[in-house]
A and B are shown apart, each in its own frame.
Chain A
Amino acid sequence: MTGTKNILNANVSRRAALQGGAGVLAGALAPGGLILSARAADNPALGTYPEGSSGPSVFVGISVPRTGTYAAAGEDLIKGYQLAIEHLNDGSELMQKISPNIKKGVLGKEVKYGIADSEAKPNTAVQNFGKFVSDNKAIMVTGSVSSAEAVANNKTADREKVIYLPGISGSNDTTGKDCARYSFRECFYGQTAAKALAPQLISTIGKNKKVAYLTPDYTYGHTVQKSMEEYLKDGGWTTATDQVSPLGTTDFSSYLLNVANSGADVVVNINFGRDAVLSVKQAKQFGILEKMTLAVPYNTPFLAKEVGADTMQGVLAATDYWWTLEEKFPLAKMFNDAFRAKYKSVPEWSANLAYMQIAMWADAIERAKSFYPPDVIKAYEAGAKVQSTVGEVYFRGADHQLVRPVVIERGKKPADMKGPDDYYEIVEVVPGAGLMQAPDAFGCKMGGYT
């Protein structure tokens, strides 16, 4: 680890401290053997290993926003996690179909979990992470909607030596310059969204068009905007304006007026969560949707439901998963059925992503045959293929990004809807391999395993 003798061990548990009589000074002088749990055969103690997995169950920490702009997506993530963990503990068929390695629980242990509200704030996310690790000895922490949370958790994961699986995180940086050895991302992101959507826009609308952007003012927004701009350039498209709004804006009138007067043919709305709902609703009010086509490179869960089919018709969006894919993919059907049975509603892509993250994690542990974090990480990095609800997927070792397809969908006319949730028609499922950037294109430099 480090060259100097690490006298004060960070992972002194409360119980150990009390039992060992360790107080401030005592802790300073005692040798590093304050961890009292038994050690596994070869592997040294690392993070919450082996404490977190020495009993009959293991603990997973779920940290998502339950309040604020991204709360709706957060709740959907929770549903996905809960369904997945339930299936995992029961040894359900769907899990087996995703990967035959998955059995009941992980390596025979039941999975327990806890949920904390991250408020979409990185500081709160870090606090939750810390609590899951110190209080519950979590062996894995998962969840995020904002990339800021995800990035903060990435760093914390590397520091705490506990695996972290982001939830929603659209910024290129999460597996780019802010990548982490202990973190693995399932969902699509700016680069893949743009590379999948841009050609579709060019072929649908034409070449040499003008585009206006509505960008939320943080990393996710800016990286997606840059990616879109880059790929639209291939069709000769130019940027008429980039309206950058702060997170949590409720009144987009100034930005929309600028967009309306920009002479653009297409408006690309990168806002996410409630910002997306409001900006789209208000765009309709300001008559922008009559003049321009709306494109949403990173679709917000429940956007169509909240703004209504009338507004969403003709809108081109890129997403991670849409429930009507069940017509194409049998695993999607199984997933939707289980979700509908439990929750009486259709899942959005956040629930799907949560489910897949749990499944792939279980698969990695089974392949590693161990809970020792570096073993699990190496199992992930081996890039074994698993079956997902959108076909075959695998992790890329260099940046820990799942190589997976991007779904392009178009809003249906209300008359064409076959049911109350039938908002989109699937235009194309673009295979992932062609969408990925070069592994070091976004500056990913991984840390060590220990």
Chain B
Amino acid sequence: MAPSLRGFRALAPETSIVLVLLVAPFALPYIGLVPDTMNRILVFGLFGIGFDLLFGYAGMLSFGQSAFFGTGGFVAAYLLTQAGLTSVMLGLLVGTIAAAFAGYLVGLIALRRTGIYFAMITVAIAEVFFFMENSPLSSFTGGENGLPGVPAPTFNLGFMTIHPTGGWSMYGFLAICYVVGIVVARRIVASPVGRVWVAIRENPLRAAAVGHNVHAYKLLAFVIAAAYAGFAGGLLGVMQGYMPPDAFTFDTSGQVIMMTVIGGLATLFGPLVGAAVWLYLHDFLQAGLGLGASWRLVLGLVFVLLVTFLRRGILGGVADLYARLRRGVAAPDLAPVPGARDMAPESSALAPQPTRPIPTYDGPILVARGLSKRFGGLLANDSIDFEVQQGELRGVIGPNGAGKTTFFKMLTCEIPPSSGSILFEGRDITGRGVTEVCQAGLTKSYQVNQLFNRLTARQNVLIAALAERRGSFRLDLLRDPAGIPGLIELVEHTLGLVELTSRADVSVSDLAYGEKRRLEIGLALATSPALLLLDEPLAGMSPRERAETVKLLKSIGRGRTTIIIDHDMDALFELVGRVTVLQEGKILVEGAPDEIKASAIVQEAYLGGVLVP
């Protein structure tokens, strides 16, 4: 029986929200929530789902979501009021697509940068959209007046017609839209794409290095968030019968950010909770207590406190509390990984076939010619010629500052060489980029652990395996990862290889250092490399850990080509068949371990002088 997400427990969040939404109209009016407010909560909840996917899951903080909220809303409103479109659902659909397209264009520009620059560009673009709405396009958008007269949808079911116009009937319509939005979002989060987004958020460098096209995934996240925003914008217009220009303001972007953070990032339901808190306090403080504008002060304080102390927001805090009460159980993962827990743990014997084609070429698996790298005035690598045969286990040593790590970085195309070329399996890979090269079968493990720290060991390996099974980018937003052929086998096999099967569901932050190093190697292994580079795999290990790791390296060396950099020469010489020595950016000498051990040149390089026997 294939493991499935569709167990009842996995669907608990969806069923709960349907129940909550069914009960709300009866219960919430007692605390003063009117249908109009509930409808606004639903609209913002939907808007926030997209934002949560973008920021909570993919880690991209955009201050410009209002641009898409407004675009979707105004395109829909325009079609329905000025262009004579009668089908409200079609109008909403077109609005959503328009917003997604706008998201695509904006993403192409904004995603060229990260962090603060990305945030700045999103602010700038949102301001530009607002300006466009207000002035040049005002004949379409009504300028500062907005577009009034947006009709409500009509559903002709044959035996009766449903025409929600406001109040509770509109609530029903919006609630259904929200549930659809949530169900799709939950699917996306559990899908391979959702996993990759989390990986990108945790460690974008490694996500790219294990073979994921990070830029494409980020753009996808941006487009999806824009689509949700556009859909919500259209619904706002329909709900009010009026599309306001405020949809485009910076305030609106700030609002969805605050609502999502207050409710809980990476929960999907967070924005709904946050919107409920926000709008309820707005009504309660303003109208109820007559405090006027100070409701924003209260909300601002709540926001600051939550960001500081309860980083996962209200829902996250509730989840953590629940976990603590159940003593020691890890906080519930809203998207559990399919895997050995659902399946008999015996199929780790054979690794599944790697997805790359069997290479047909003659000669060495790797040929580097004249490889140089200059950093300003420093020549880190100087015209290196280097060859490795298929199936070799090669060691690379050299004193500190010899340029070993730089050399590796060029081989994996993490940095482009200043001059020279690299041929892998007969093809020129110079300057191709780390993702493409990894997909081709060349990958490395890092000297300093580059793991996805907030995930478990199994989830870490899964990320690498997803790239191996699916290639650098696939648009499988709604797919269940368990359905990918060979995925689970690859994950379990890799965990077995690095002997982490028993610790697979422990979070990385709780692993011992040696286990983390093994996981580090495991990530590289899961990409099914034909050529594996290991950058100081024994770094920082105790003698016992070192012995175990050497055994591990021996076993994984079988059936693939491996190059290892390390300083522990005893271990290395025991392991490898051939050694290359680098010094001051150049190859000093190459040979069998015994030759190198005895070489006077090498001794001089390390010690500055020859040991007189």
Contact = CB atoms under 8 A, between A and B. Distances in A.
B26 A18 contact: yes
B167 A5 contact: no
Contact of A151 (B22, B148, B160, B170): B148
Interface string B467-501: 00000000000000000000000000000000000
Interface stretch (A76-84, A128-136, A272-280, A436-444): A128-136
Contact of B149 (A9, A29, A134, A155): A155
Contact of A219 (B143, B148, B170, B292): B143
5 contacts: A18-B29, A117-B286, A117-B292, A122-B145, A131-B287
Interface of B is mostly: helix
Contacts of B26: 18, 23
Contacts of A66: 292
B200 to A, nearest CB: 35
Contacts, number: 134
A126 B242 contact: yes
Contacts of A156: 148, 241-242
Contacts of A130: 36, 240
B162 A8 contact: yes
Contacts of A218: 134, 143-144
What 5 pairs across the A-B complex have the smallest Cβ distances? A123-B244, A155-B148, A8-B169, A10-B165, A24-B172
B172 A27 contact: yes
Contacts of B22: 23-24
A45 interface: no
B160 A67 contact: no
B510 interface: no
B113 interface: no
Contacts of A13: 167
Interface in A120-168: 121-124, 126-127, 130-131, 134-135, 146-148, 151-152, 154-156, 159
A9 B35 CA distance: 13
A7 interface: yes
Contacts of A25: 172
B298 to A, nearest CB: 16
A129 to B, nearest CB: 10
A8 B160 contact: no
A7 B242 contact: no
Given A12-B35, A12-B167, A122-B244, 14 more contacts: A9-B169, A11-B166, A14-B29, A23-B25, A24-B172, A66-B292, A122-B245, A134-B34, A148-B144, A148-B145, A148-B146, A152-B148, A152-B244, A217-B134
Nearest to A23: B25
A315 interface: no
Contacts of A307: none
Contacts of B146: 122-123, 148, 152
Contacts of A135: 34
Nearest to B40: A127
A134 B33 CA distance: 12
A123 B172 contact: no
Interface string A283-294: 000000000000
| Of B175, B241, B246, most A-chain CB atoms within 10 Å | B241
B360 interface: no
Contacts of A178: 145, 148
A174 B145 CA distance: 11
Contacts of B244: 121-123, 126, 152
| Of A7, A67, A146, A159, most B-chain CB atoms within 10 Å | A159
Contacts of A254: none
A28 B160 CA distance: 10
A22 interface: yes
A5 B175 CA distance: 23
A202 interface: no
Contact of B163 (A7, A12, A17): A7
Interface in A382-410: none
Contacts of A67: 293
A27 B34 contact: no
Contact of A134 (B36, B163, B175, B287): B36
A12 B242 contact: no
Contacts of B156: 4
B34 A131 contact: yes
B161 interface: yes
A24 B143 CA distance: 36
Given A4-B161, A28-B169, A17 B154 contact: no
A219 B143 CA distance: 8
A11 B161 contact: no
A24 B160 contact: no
A357 to B, nearest CB: 21
Nearest to A29: B160
Interface in A8-54: 8-14, 17-18, 22-25, 27-29
Interface string A362-391: 000000000000000000000000000000
Contacts of A28: 162, 169, 172
A243 to B, nearest CB: 14
Given A24-B22, A217-B134, A152 B246 contact: no
A170 B22 CA distance: 46
B171 interface: yes
Interface in B142-159: 143-146, 148-149, 154, 156
Contacts of B286: 117
Contacts of B135: 217
Contacts of B250: none
